Chain A
Amino acid sequence: MDKKKLIEEGILTQYILGELDMETSQAVEQLLQSDSELKEKALELEDQFEQIGFENAIAPPAEVKKKLMDEVEAEGVTTGFQSNEMVGSAPFWKSAAWRMAAGIALLFGLSSIWLFMQWQNTRTDLETLQSQSQMVTDRLNKLEQDIGLVNTKYAQINHPDVVPFVLTGNNKLPDAKVVAYMNHKAQSVVVNTVSLPDLRNTQSYQLWADVDGEMIDMGVLETGQELIPVRYIERAESLNITIEPFGGSEHPTVSNLISYVTL
């Protein structure tokens, strides 16, 4: 294709009117780019067609512009350039698609936060419940142990073979009161010292059994205890409590006898 053919065969006119296929159009464009005289000719033809267009113009109804503006302002229509660069009058954040995407993202984000908070609350609640459950279990175990201990103690003093003996303080210690539960069959003795006054740190109460006139050690008594097991002595005729040096003595200090009971 050369310049002469382009002009004389009317190909340039066809190009301007948009009649040519893409391949021929590109060939014409290449010629136009390289030939300023041809370019000038093309421009002249364009001017003529534009002039014909203006001479035959028909004013469109005003409603068309209004509809066009409505459609463009609705922002559902975007220019091709907006995908490559952000532009002034139609910012991307005002587009319907972006708003919808942002709305969905926001909804998703809020939902995620809500679900995360719910999950955190549930986890906290679960941890609290687990902690409380453990506390209840511990208390239950302790209560069971206590009940077992109480039952054991109760069995020790409430058995039909058990005989309680009350040792009341003499004039040296009139407020003192000790109960000894003796089970001759089981050969056991437990003592309640709850009502036994405290001593100085250098002294201890000691329980003795009188067997044929001889005082035999049954054990040191710690004050404030409900049931203290002490040594059982066969053929004991009486129980005696003395105040001895701290830790007890091998032989009783008779002058410090504060209570006794005959069996």
Chain B
Amino acid sequence: MSTTPKEIPFISALKKGDKRALYSLYDMYSGSIYGVILRIVSNEDEAKDVLQETFISIWKKIHMYDESKGKFYTWAYRIAKNLSLNRIRNKKRFIQIEDSGVYKMTEEQVEKPELTRLNGLLTQLEPHHQEAVRLVYFSGYTHAEAHKVMNVPLGTFKSYIQQAMKRLRSGYNLLLILGGIILVALIYG
């Protein structure tokens, strides 16, 4: 991906108070952000509320976003994750796992599992790698919490994440190469 993201003009406009820029960014990112939120809160109505809150928050706090520190998506993801976790903590929908201090969603609160199913290259990973990424990325756990959920040492869990990201990177690079070959083939007939 480019180091000069496509969203920069919209972010500049948003910082000047342009509402249309907010709606454009919503069109660009609401799907991926909603995917994260829905998987964390596991409730459609609440996920819709949190998504709205997330973009209101982006609207209000855009002046705090510093492009030099990271991508807009990363910043928006953090906002969405924090709001989702607050929503869950407020509703006390986590149950404490024994004495670990880790909270886990109760099974009956998960609705429409097909909505929270993982897609893309992530599904090509080994199950424990897939689960590790799911826990920290789509369930809102920290590394310190997630390794307890998987019942493996923290170091092992971290290596799961690193291996998962390495294989994903290889997969994405392969996709880019294949995409390039297809494009060249289309152009030159």
A90 interface neighbour in B17, B34, B39, B73, Cβ under 8 Å: B17
Interchain CB contact (< 8 A) of A43 among B3, B39, B137:
B3
Flag B36-60 by CB within 8 Å of A: 1 or 0 each. Answer: 1011000000011001100110011
Which residues of chain B are within 8 angstroms of A43 by Cβ–Cβ distance?
1, 3, 71
Could you say which residues of chain A place their CB within 8 Å of the CB of B56? 68, 71-72, 77
CB neighbours (8 Å) of B158 from chain A are 9-10
| A50 closest partner in B (C-beta) | B73
Count A-B contacts at CB 8 Å.
Answer: 168
Q: When each residue 26-59 of chain A gets 1 if its CB lies under 8 Å from chain B and 0 otherwise, what string results?
A: 0001001100000000111111111111111111
Q: Is A144 an interface residue (CB 8 A)?
A: no
In the complex, the answer to whether A64 meets B69 with C-beta atoms within 8 Å is no
Query: Are the CB atoms of B73 and A68 closer together than 8 Å?
Result: no
Q: B61–A80 contact, CB under 8 A?
A: yes
Residue B31 is within 8 A (CB to CB) of chain A in the complex? yes
Min CB–CB distance B179 → chain A (angstroms): 13
Chain A's closest residue to B158 (CB) is A10
Q: How far is the CA of A50 from the CA of B120 in the complex (A)?
A: 12
Q: Is B89's CB within 8 Å of the partner chain A?
A: no
Residue of B whose beta carbon sits closest to that of A53: B32
Q: Once the chains bind, are A53 and B77 in contact (CB under 8 Å)?
A: yes
Judge whether B92 is part of the interface by a CB distance below 8 angstroms: no
User: Does B32 lie within 8 Å of A88, measured CB to CB?
Assistant: no
Question: A47 to B1, Cβ gap below 8 A?
Answer: yes
- Does any Cβ of B come within 8 Å of A238's Cβ? no
Judging by beta carbons under 8 Å apart, are B35 and A56 in contact?
A: yes
**A74 to B82 CA separation, bound complex (whole angstroms):** 25
Interface size on A, residues (CB 8 A): 52
Kindly state the separation between the CA atoms of A63 and B158 in the bound complex, as whole angstroms: 39
Q: Could you tell me the distance between the alpha carbons of A46 and B71 in the complex, rounded to whole angstroms?
A: 7
Rounded to whole Å, the gap between the CB of B51 and the closest CB of chain A is 5
Interface status of B149 (Cβ within 8 A of chain A): no
Interface pair A79/B119, CB less than 8 Å apart: no
Chain A residues within an 8 Å CB radius of B18: 87-89
Q: A58 and B35: CB pair below 8 A? A: yes
Residue of A nearest to B68 (CB): A33
A61 engages B23 (CB within 8 Å): no
Q: Give Cα A262–Cα B27 distance, bound, in whole angstroms.
A: 132
Beta-carbon contact of A79 and B62 below 8 Å: yes
B138 touches A56 (CB 8 A): yes
The 5 A-B pairs with the shortest beta carbon distances in the complex, nearest first, are A55-B120, A87-B17, A57-B31, A53-B32, A18-B78
Q: List 16 A-B contacts (CB under 8 A).
A: A16-B74, A18-B82, A32-B69, A53-B35, A53-B36, A55-B120, A56-B39, A59-B30, A60-B34, A60-B47, A60-B51, A68-B23, A81-B62, A89-B17, A89-B18, A89-B19
Chain A interface (Cβ within 8 Å of chain B)?
A: 8-10, 13-14, 16-19, 29, 32-33, 42-61, 63-65, 67-69, 71-73, 77-82, 84, 87-90
